Every structure is written in C-alpha cells, then in structure tokens.
Amino acid sequence: MIRPLIITSLTKTFDTASGPHIAVKDFDATVQPGEFVSLLGHSGCGKSTVLAIVAGLQQATLGGVIVDGREIDGPGLERALVFQSPCLLPWCNTRENVMLAVRQAHPKLNPKEQKELARKYLNLVGVSEFENTLPAELSQGTQQRVAIARALSLEPRFLLLDEPFGMLDSMTRFELQDLVLELWEKDRKTCILVTHDIDEALYLSDRIILMTDGPESKVGLELPITLPRPRDRRELADNQEYYRLRKVVIDFLEHHSRQFTQEKAA
C-alpha cells in the first residue's frame, strides 16, 4: 500500500552568530500519493528548508518526515530533488551526467542497459539530440531539462522541485512548466514544488500550501486547486475560479501571511 508523505511538527533552528534562529516551527502537512503540491511563501520564509528536510539533506531540529510509515533519516533514491540551478558536471556530456544517477539507482543493470536508460530519460524530456553535448554549450532551459532527466532516471516516487524554473526567462519557464505537467500527467509521481510564482503554483498544483513569514514560519493556509485537468494556460486566462484563487493567494501574501485564517479562503 502506498502511504502519504507526512511532515509532522517540523521545526528547524539554525545556530547563527546572533543566536539560535527558529526558521520553521511546527510545520505540519500531509501529501497524498500522486498529489502535486506547491509550497508558496515570501522569500526567506523557509520553503527550501522544509524541502531540504523532506529530501533528507538537512535534519529537522524537532519533528520529522514520514515516508512509507517510517521517519526518514537521510536522502533516499525514492526522493529526487531538482534545484534552481541544474548542477550538471561541466566536464561530462548530458548522457554521462544522467548516467551518474542511473548507475547509482540501477547498479544491477549492465553498462549498455544503463546507457539505454539514460537515453530514455533524455528522450522523455526532449533533449536526445544533445546527448553528446557538454552542459556549457546548452541553454539554461536545456540544462534544466537534463537535470529533470537525471532526477527522473532515479525512478523516484517523489519529485522535489526547489524553484526549478527560477532562473529561466518566461517563455522557457512556460515550456518547462508544461514539460513537468505532462510528465506528471503520465505517471502521477508525488510532486512537491517550492516556488514564489503564484501563477506557476496555480497552474501546476492540486493544492497550494501557503507559508507564513518567518521566523517561526508554518503552514498559514492550505488551498485546494480544483481547476480542471488537463490544464491549458490560455483557457485559465478566462477562468473565473482561477482569478478567485489568485486573489486568495495574493491577499494572503500581501496582508495576512502572519494572521490569515483558513476561514477567509472559503
């Protein structure tokens, strides 16, 4: 049985020169299998901290993250992370970059099978033609496609995305949002996306988790996004519900990120 991912009473305190800084306090959320959830909030509210703890890259000070009924204690191949920067090895071509992940996740495959798997994922994100190209010769958008291929090649159940489109121009950002949506529609991996782009969160998500401002940030509002799927950017431009939801998010971010209550969203 596939169980939800549970973030429970998550608190993260950083030791800083001026004393302990409680970035996140008592953050609770449950993400259902196959759900696409966005974490949205002002810069510095703790979105990346929460995601890094879910990825197992940082440790919670209190509370934790439960996957498959067990508290995680570090990174795992079932949770793949994509960052804002593609983080590709500059001396390896795109296929070799993906191969590094494939070898880690599929050590029992022979080298030929591993190569085929890397190609499969490069093909899935539409960059097959660049398999022998070094990252520096590619646009930022294409590099980010390779980073997505590398994450998918782990065949994870959870795709964790920390502002993966943040460095892209708006047209490329739309293309990559569409790619992620298309991939998600295909196999419904559980996705957690960190973003501060309201339209991106609305376009992609089943639910937006809005975080209060830090320090001691936590969940301020959980907003279900019931817009019909498959979604079309142009159709949403005429959708009343889209604008209602957008207004709820803007109200939260502009005025209420500290004291907004769930009732106001109704």
Bridge partner residues of 70 (DSSP)? 67
Residue of the chain from 48, 93, 205, 257 that contacts Mg ion (CB under 5 A): 48
Contact 76, 214 (CB under 8 A): no
User: Number of C-alpha atoms within 13 angstroms, CB side, residue 63?
Assistant: 19
CA 223/CA 263 separation, integer angstroms: 11
Q: How buried is 106 (Cβ within 10 angstroms: 0-12 exposed, 13-18 middle, 19+ buried)?
A: middle
Residue of 7, 10, 23, 98 interacting with ligand ATP (CB under 6 A): 23
User: Counting contacts by CB under 5 A, is residue 49 touching Mg ion?
Assistant: no
Stretch that binds ligand ATP, among 36-44, 105-113, 120-128, 142-150 (CB under 6 A): 36-44
Of 124 and 161, nearer to ligand ATP (C-beta) is: 161
Q: Which of 45, 53, 81, 117 binds ligand ATP (CB under 6 A)?
A: 45
Q: Does 214 participate in binding ligand ATP (rule CB under 6 A)?
A: yes
Q: What whole-number distance in Å separates Cα of residue 164 and Cα of residue 167?
A: 8
Q: Which does 18 bind (CB under 5 to 8 A by kind): ligand ATP, Mg ion, none?
A: none
Smallest gap from Cβ 85 to ligand ATP, in A, equals 12
The b-or-e profile of 72-101 (16+ CB within 10 A means b, else e) is beeebeebbbbbbebebeeeebbbbbbbeb
> Which partner, ligand ATP, Mg ion, none, binds residue 44 by CB below 5 to 8 Å per kind?
ligand ATP
Using the rule CB under 6 A, give the single segment among 39-47, 75-83, 223-231, 240-248 that binds ligand ATP: 39-47
Contact partner, 43, from Mg ion, ligand ATP, none, Cβ < 5-8 Å per class: ligand ATP
Q: What are phi and psi of 246, to 5 degrees?
A: -60, -40
Q: Which of 11, 48, 144, 177 binds ligand ATP (CB under 6 A)?
A: 48
**Strand order in 62-67's β-sheet?**
19-31, 5-16, 62-67, 70-71
Among 115, 196, 246, 256, binds ligand ATP (CB under 6 A): 196
Applying CB under 6 A, which residues contact ligand ATP?
14, 16, 21, 23, 41, 43-49, 196, 214
